Amino acid sequence: MRGLLTAALVGGLAAPAAGQVAVRAGVLHTVAGAPIEDAVVVAAADGAIEWVGPAAEASVPAGVEVLEAAVVTPGLVDAHSVVGLAGALNSDVGQVRDQDQLDKSAPIQPELRAVDAYDAAETLVDWVRSYGVTTLHTGHGPGALISGQTMIVKTRGRTAEEATIVPARMLAATLGGAVSSNFRSPGTAAKGVAMLRAALLGARAYGEQVRRAEEAGQDAPAPPARDLAREALGRVLSGELSLLVTANTVTEIGAALRLRREFGFDLVLDGAAESYLLLDEIRAAGVPVVLHPPMSRVRNGSFETAAALAAAGIPFAIQTGFEGYVPKTRVLLWEAAIAAANGLGPERALAAVTLDAARILGIDERVGSIEVGKDADLALFDGDPFEYTTHICGVIIEAEVLSRECR
């Protein structure tokens, strides 16, 4: 490909704007539609995609850099991670402490904001971006009934503010034994659900108190003192935030669905190792799944769960999750590859780490596919992205070329 760019491609009327960039792809996986052979994407200086189509019809302003790659996909969207709160050193002591995804002082802490902990300079942010992840749903991790809030970032920027595209997106909840290993209470799975129900009921009552006070106007009793925890839970009850429930067993998934029926919140199932045993129930509830990384050794996990969810018509995305000790599931590309090779197929696997993930996160207007008007987030490859021996040869976020060497 390199060096074959024809003069016909270049020479539009408009002068190039600073920061504009174009990419020519042997195969362009827009994910929004069928792959396009020999295609061009033009990114505007404001970071949006300006033009997509066959190279033969392309008109790139003179002077605009044109990167070339055999295969181009949307920048990858990791549907759930703790990168930026959890760091590479996996140290929770002393000056090199870099584990901020779980506070163990109380089992329910919905008031913990991810933006207050996200380290934009963390090594792992660069690492995951170098393997194609441009959008990261990150924040508080599994291990508490409610560990805190999650956020959505682009994998660039010097501060949380620069990186953030959604400052609060979900509350991270966990059901089952994983919680009891971190807290004296809940000591059982049933106690954990009871505590969550009580917390949600308390938030509902608090919300009503606040509303009554607002409606009554000047004659009202004093409104209740600000309660950050109940306010955050209230945002789940109002549908403003989703509840991301880590539930791996049939029992835990069942409890999550039951909680949703009782409180009517927007549920996203996380982990969902045994989801293949409850496909009908999950589909009937219309609940999306953010599947555990296929290579994580979760109990009863299967390389074929992604394929089972796809066949059942359940919306799902693949995540990298978190493994602190000896990193094994940090590269989203290779997790999706295992699903691709185990019944899902590469096209669906790509969707599970781009557009389908963006839909579950509610940011598909902006990222997840290569379409005019969307963010110019692109990943460049020299072959099938899922092949172990293929290299990623460029990562672009909002028209900014962040890497261009093959690795």
Partner 1 sequence: MKRAFGALVLVPALAASQPAPAAGQDAAHVFRGAYLLPISSPPIESGVLVVQGGAIVAVGGADLASPPGAVEHDLTGRVLMPGVVDSHSHVGSVSGGDRSSPLHPDVRALDSIDVASDSFWRARAGGITTVNVMPGSGHLMSGQTVYLKLRAGGRTVEDWLLCDDPLTDVCGGMKMANGTNSLREPPFPGTRARSAALVRGLYHEARAYVERQAGRADGDPPAARDLRMEALAEVLAGERIVQHHTHRHNDIATVLRLREEFGFRVVIQHGTEAWKLADELAAAGVPVSITSIDAPGGKEETIDWTLEAGAILERAGVDVAFNTDDFITDSRLLLRSAALAVRNGMSRAKALEALTLAPARMLGLADRVGSLEAGKDADFVVLSGDPFSVYATVQQTWVEGRLIFDRSNPEHRRYAVGGHDVYRTTAEEEAVLRRLLEGEGG
Residues lying near partner 1 in the complex (CB under 8 A) are found at 1, 26-27, 29, 35, 70-71, 87-91, 96, 123-124, 127, 177, 181, 274, 276-277, 295-304, 324-331, 334, 337-338, 340-342, 346-347, 381-391, 407
CB-wise, 134 or 329, nearer to partner 1? 329
Return the beta strands (E) in 169-266 as ranges.
Answer: 170-174, 242-247
Contact present, 296 and 321 (Cβ < 8 Å)? yes
Q: How far is the CB of 191 from partner 1 (least distance, A)?
A: 19
CB-wise, 90 or 209, nearer to partner 1? 90
Q: Could you give the 3-state DSSP secondary structure of residue 341?
A: helix
DSSP element (H, E) containing 281: helix 279-285
Within 8 A by CB and 6+ apart from 199, the residues are: 108, 110, 145, 146, 229, 233
Chain centre distance of CA 402:
20
Q: How far is the CB of 407 from partner 1 (least distance, A)?
A: 7
Contact present, 168 and 150 (Cβ < 8 Å)? yes
Tokens of 278: 């409850």
Q: How far is the CB of 328 from partner 1 (least distance, A)?
A: 6
Q: How far is the CB of 79 from partner 1 (least distance, A)?
A: 18
CB-wise, 80 or 330, nearer to partner 1? 330
- Say which amino acid occupies 65: E
Task: Give the C-alpha separation, 312 to 292, whole Å.
Answer: 17
| Secondary structure (DSSP) of 355-395 | HHHHHHHT-TTTSSS--TTSB--EEEESS-TTSTT--EEEE
CB-wise, 169 or 348, nearer to partner 1? 348
Of 166, 167, 156, nearest to 113 by C-alpha is: 167
Q: CA-CA distances (angstroms) from residue 256 to 68, 130, 243, 252?
A: 46, 35, 10, 6
CB-wise, 109 or 249, nearer to partner 1? 249
Q: How far is the CB of 283 from partner 1 (least distance, A)?
A: 19
CB-wise, 120 or 360, nearer to partner 1? 120
CB-wise, 39 or 229, nearer to partner 1? 39
Tokens of 260: 């949703």
Q: Hey, how many other C-beta atoms are within 10 angstroms of the C-beta on 185?
A: 12
Q: How far is the CB of 72 from partner 1 (least distance, A)?
A: 9
CB-wise, 124 or 314, nearer to partner 1? 124
Q: How far is the CB of 391 from partner 1 (least distance, A)?
A: 6
CB-wise, 95 or 105, nearer to partner 1? 95
Strand partners, 378: 74, 396
Tokens of 163: 């990186």
**What is the phi/psi pair of residue 154, to 5°?**
-90, 150
Q: How far is the CB of 262 from partner 1 (least distance, A)?
A: 28
Q: How far is the CB of 120 from partner 1 (least distance, A)?
A: 17
Contact present, 233 and 203 (Cβ < 8 Å)? yes
